[in-house]
Structure formats: C-alpha cells, structure tokens
Amino acid sequence: MAIATKIQSCIEGSSWIRRMFEEGGRLREKFGADNVYDFTLGNPDVDPPEKFYTELRAIANSPERGIHRYMSNAGYEESRASVAAMLSSSSGLPVSAGQIVMTCGASGALNVVLKTILNPGEEVIILTPHFVEYRFYIDNHGGVPHEVWTDRTTFQLDIPAIEMAISEKTRAIIINTPNNPTGVIYPAESLAELGQMIERRERELGRQIYLISDEPYARISYDGLTVPNIFRYVTNSLIVTSHSKDLALPGERIGYIAANPLMTHVDLFMEGAIFCNRTLGFVNAPALMQRLVSKLQNESVDVESYRQKRDLLYGTLTSLGYHMVKPDGAFYLFPKSPVPDDVAFVRAAQKHNLLIVPGAGFGAPGFFRIAYCVDIKMIERSLPAWKALAVETGLVGV
Ligand code: PLP
C-alpha cells in the first residue's frame, strides 16, 4: 500500500462532501450550471466588507520594510491586542494579548489546542450532529472522540448526557455555536449550567477539563440573537475561531485561539500552544491577514443577505412539509429526511439536480444538510425541484 492504511481508510470513509462536489461537476456538464442546485459547501458567496479592501490597499500602497518577515510564533502584538480588546469587552474579563495566539483559521486553532492538551488515549467529547473534521483533528493528536447527542428535536445541549459521558479519561469538550450543521445558538442559561456541571465534575475527578468553543460563525446570527461569550460561564474555556465566515476570508487562513484569563495554568497553556503552532508547521498565521484583521474586529459581512436566504428556504421547505429547527445563525439548515434512509434521500434529490449532504456525514443519519451560502437566484431556481422532491417522497399530495 502506497500510503498509511489509516489515511487510506479515512479517505474512503469521509468523502461525502467531496463525492457530492464531484457529482455536481458531472451534473453541471450534463444539464448546464443554471440547472444544478448545489447546496453542499460552506463556502461563503458574499464578499468581505469594504473596509477590508480599504485597509488592504493602504498596506499595498505604502508597504513598510519587514512586513513579510517571520515574527513571534504567537503572532503580531498589535493583532493579539486588538482581538484581546474585543474579547475583554464581550466577556467583561481582562483578556490580554498574552492570552491570544493568531492561527491558520479555526482548523489550525483546533489542531494547536488539541496537540497542546491531549495525552495519548484521552477523550474529547463532541456533540452530534458535529462538524465532521473534529474526529480527524482529535485523532491527529492521539485522542479519542466520544460522541454525545444533542437534544434530537431542538439540537440544544443535553447537559445530563454530557455529564454521563465525562470520565477520568475526559480532557476536553468541544461545542460549536452557532452550529454547523444545525444553525442553533446555545443560550447563556445553558452555557452557565454547562459551566457549573463541568466545574463539579472537575472537582470530583481532580482533573482539568477544557471547554473548547468553536465559533467561526459567531457574528452570523439572526433575529437579534447574539452568541454569549463563553468566558463568562466556563472558567477553563478556550475560544477557537476564524474570519473565514464572518469576514468571508476562508482562503486566507486567519483565525485565533483565546484562553480565558481565569483558566487554571493559563500561562503554561499559552506556552504550549505557541510551541505547537510552531512545531505543527504553521510557524505563524499569515502576516498580511494578521495586520488586516486587527483593524476589522468590529466588522462583518452582510448578515442580512444570509437572513433573507434562510427565510426563503426555511419558509418554502416547511410549507412543503419538511421538518427542521429554524436556525439562529450560521448558514445551514438541517432538516429531517422525509424517508428514514438519508443517503437514499440524497440520491433521490440528485435526480432533481439538488445536491445536499446526508446527515450521516455529521454522525446524524436520518437528516440532511443544506448550505445556503449561495446565490439567492440559485435558491429561487431550485424551489420547483424541492417541491417535486417533496411530492416524490410523500411529503405533499400531487
Ligand atoms: N469549525 C466549524 C464548525 C466549521 O464549520 C469550519 C469550517 O467550515 C471550521 C471550524 C474551520 O474553519 P476555518 O479553518 O476555515 O477557520
């Protein structure tokens, strides 16, 4: 075998989104791009805010000497301070630049955190439905994912179930809010209850358990809701995030890790994270992007356009009989599959040139995911296909 057995089996087992993407290419060639409705990828279709381009031009027009050189592995002081100031104001705690590491996106941040904290065989609790990459990131660093379902009707935290899953092997819990794939935001009361439960279990087990809050969609929320700052509710907490979604910069790979200033052994954690950012081969986050995002901490993409897309799809699909939780944020819908086999449903959708991802890809068979970060005109063109699919799968009478 030419590559590692484990990687070979990972490639075979994890390729849902890629398979759908390839299928999209085939369908587009056959039917024309306008007649294929691709809802598979979480790749923002909006542009970064105007201020991003203004700042980019300002740097390009008067480049300072040395701006492309290596720097501290944690990132520029100016960028870390800017993130820290924003988090101090949302948490009410004195977050300082020393508690921030600039990273290559939230993916880089998660890998750095997991490498820093995991001993071989230690468990990380992940909440189903979950972002599929968590399993691979945990495995990258010798950890073992321990899946716990969220509430199956609301997709909110099931705190007793998380409590039951915590053992002397548990090192961390990952939450993701607003959530990919369900779109839910965990309210403050729920985070407070989670924090109390974790602290109780830490005392009982005599070990530190990290709550990792993965928040790349934090500024994409609707209906006046906001994402509560986790530092207020959980002491041993870390935020991992990026500007892939809120500033629509996924290709630029810029994000950060922030540690709660009250976390036990916070300085040791920071030393470890800076070391791991270096030795995982990231070395430091992209220099130009660090400079830019330090000026954009209070900016975001046009969230209103995402809300319109959510409302159009949610309204139409529920009126056709599809069942789903109305998303509070992010840009995904996670409806129940009208037939028990979600993969069969996805295949049926394909016949109508609708490309979606089965819930099985998120550890949640029986559901499917729609990524609506697409052109609204494509959503409008897709509506007859959704109706035909609903008729075919018995949701509405002919
Ligand atoms: N976490 C979640 C829940 C995501 O949906 C994504 C990307 O889709 C990421 C992390 C990684 O984002 P990035 O590495 O681009 O910041």
pLDDT of residue 14: 63
**Best of 43, 217, 245 to mutate for ligand 1, by most ligand atoms within 8 A of CB?**
245
CATH 3.40.1390.20 fits 50-293, yes or no: no
* Confidence (pLDDT) at 21: 72
Query: Per DSSP, what are the bridge partners of residue 370?
Result: 333
Q: What is the pLDDT of residues 299-337, one digit of tens each?
A: 999 999 999 999 999 999 999 999 999 999 999 999 999
Ligand 1 binding pocket includes 177 (Cβ within 6 Å): no
Instruction: Give the list of residues 6+ apart from residue 77 with CB closer than 8 angstroms, or none.
Output: 97
Q: Report pLDDT for 82.
A: 98
Q: Is the CB of 113 under 6 A from ligand 1?
A: no
Average pLDDT score over residue span 364-391: 96
pLDDT above 80 for 15: no
* Cα dihedral sign, 246-247-253-256: negative
Please work out whether the CB of residue 179 comes within 6 Å of at least one atom of ligand 1: no
182 lines ligand 1 (CB under 6 A): no
Domain ranges in the chain are: 10-46+302-392, 50-293
Average pLDDT over the chain, rounded to an integer = 95
Average pLDDT over residues 221-233: 97
The residue with greater pLDDT, 64 or 238, is: 238
Local structure of 149: helix, strand or coil: strand
CB proximity list for 57: less than 8 A, separation 6 or greater: none
Q: What is the pLDDT of residues 28-81, one digit of tens each?
A: 888 888 899 999 988 999 999 999 999 999 999 998 999 999 999 999 999 999
pLDDT score for 57: 97
Whose Cα sits closest to atom 8 in ligand 1? 42
C-alpha triplet 380, 381, 387: angle, nearest 5°: 85
Distance 61 CA to ligand 1 centre (A): 32
Cα angle vertex 318, ends 314, 324, to 5°?
Answer: 75
> CA Rg, the chain, in Å?
21
| Helices 303-319/376-392 angle, 10° precision | 20
Q: Give the helix/strand (H/E) hosting 292.
A: helix 287-293
Asked if residue 255 has its Cβ within 6 Å of ligand 1, the reply is yes
pLDDT at 63: 86
pLDDT of residue 277 exceeding 70: yes
The overall pTM is greater than 0.85:
yes
> What is the CATH code for 10-46+302-392?
3.90.1150.10
Probe target for ligand 1 pocket from 102, 107, 257, 369, with the most ligand atoms within 8 Å of CB = 107
Does residue 107 have its Cβ closer than 6 Å to ligand 1? yes
Average pLDDT on 10-22 reads 74
